[in-house]
Amino acid sequence: MENRKLGRTDLNVSELCLGSMQFGWTADEQLSFRILDEAFAAGINFIDTADIYSIWVEGNPGGVSETIIGRWLKQSAIPRDRLVIATKVRGRMGEGAHNEGLSRLHIIDAVEGSLRRLGTDYIDLYQSHWYDENTPIEETLAAYNDLVSQGKVRYIGCSNYPAWRLTEAIWVSRLHQLAQYACLQPHYNLVHRAEFERELADVCRAYDLAVIPYSPLAGGFLTGKYHPGETSEGPRLRSARRHFNERNWKLLEHLALIGKNKAGCSTSQIALAWLLANPLITAPIIGPRSIEQLKDNLGAAGLHLTSEEQQTLDEATQWPS
């Protein structure tokens, strides 16, 4: 699997990133270990998690995904420097007024919890999960800068930032010579394009930021498992249902036809290949809940679309300018 530079850093990451929101939720620890083993064996060295995963599940206090990854690291005996581990901070972890946000107090406390759960003494990429309107960006970046200076964090990034906040953060880092966001983790896929493409793409291009999109398969919609008029159940149905419309059903037909013409590639592989064809994209974050899903996703690595196929998908999902 091809390795790519992560923005302005010297981190070489695989062209697919293994997301772990499903660990301890729709994949138990044993299955999570198998997914991690298979992914690493296939060449994926980039693992993304967050401290709050998956606090929305009943009985899950948060930190479960990080804990599973930490246990896997300990039993796998894989050298730590062969992996790029990313996690995030922002959400509420426990009770108390300072147990969420991007204040210095919360960041300094939260990073220690993540390091402990992951069983490592450094985090390759520490990301703001979403912006904090109640904390000055100078305070957030100064806290990150101290963690980088201490060697607890190698690089920093952010997720779910609008373009003006991302630009502000970069300017503040440069003005005060603080650690700078090296990447953006946006919500981006074939049926959710405008949020990234309208302004964020230009910011990432101008400042050489890596882009690691989450939900590249639109909550399972772009796998092709949903069909007009059919009802189905599943933990991701609510996320996928928002895309149920005539335009997107037609898109699935295009994806299936392109896949058929490429020796039987799956709908999800074509959707991932569309992202990988964009030179701005570093590594889409896949979130397989089974070994079968992982193997299917891996098939997108190295898959190239023709200019005609790319144009078909672009036109089918074009958003109003």
Q: Which two tokens stand for residue 299?
A: 């098939």
Catalytic residue among 53, 126, 155, 226: 53
What DSSP string describes 55-121? Answer: TTSTT--S-HHHHHHHHHHHHH---GGG-EEEEEE-S--SSSTTSSSS-HHHHHHHHHHHHHHHT-S
Helix (H) or strand (E) holding 132: none
Choose among 97, 114, 86, 102: nearest CA to 17: 86
Comparing C-alpha atoms, which of 236, 137, 219 is closest to residue 179? 137
Distance CA 287, CA 144 (A): 27
Distance CA 303, CA 281 (A): 14
Q: How far apart are CA 253 and CA 178, in angstroms?
A: 48
* C-alpha torsion angle, residues 280, 290, 116, 185 (rounded to 10): 20
Known active-site residue 53: yes
**HSE (side-chain half, CA atoms, 13 Å) at 310:** 11
SS3 303: coil
Residue (of 117, 113, 108) closest to 93 by Cα position: 113
19 φ, ψ to 5°?
A: -80, 160
The residues assigned a catalytic role are: 53
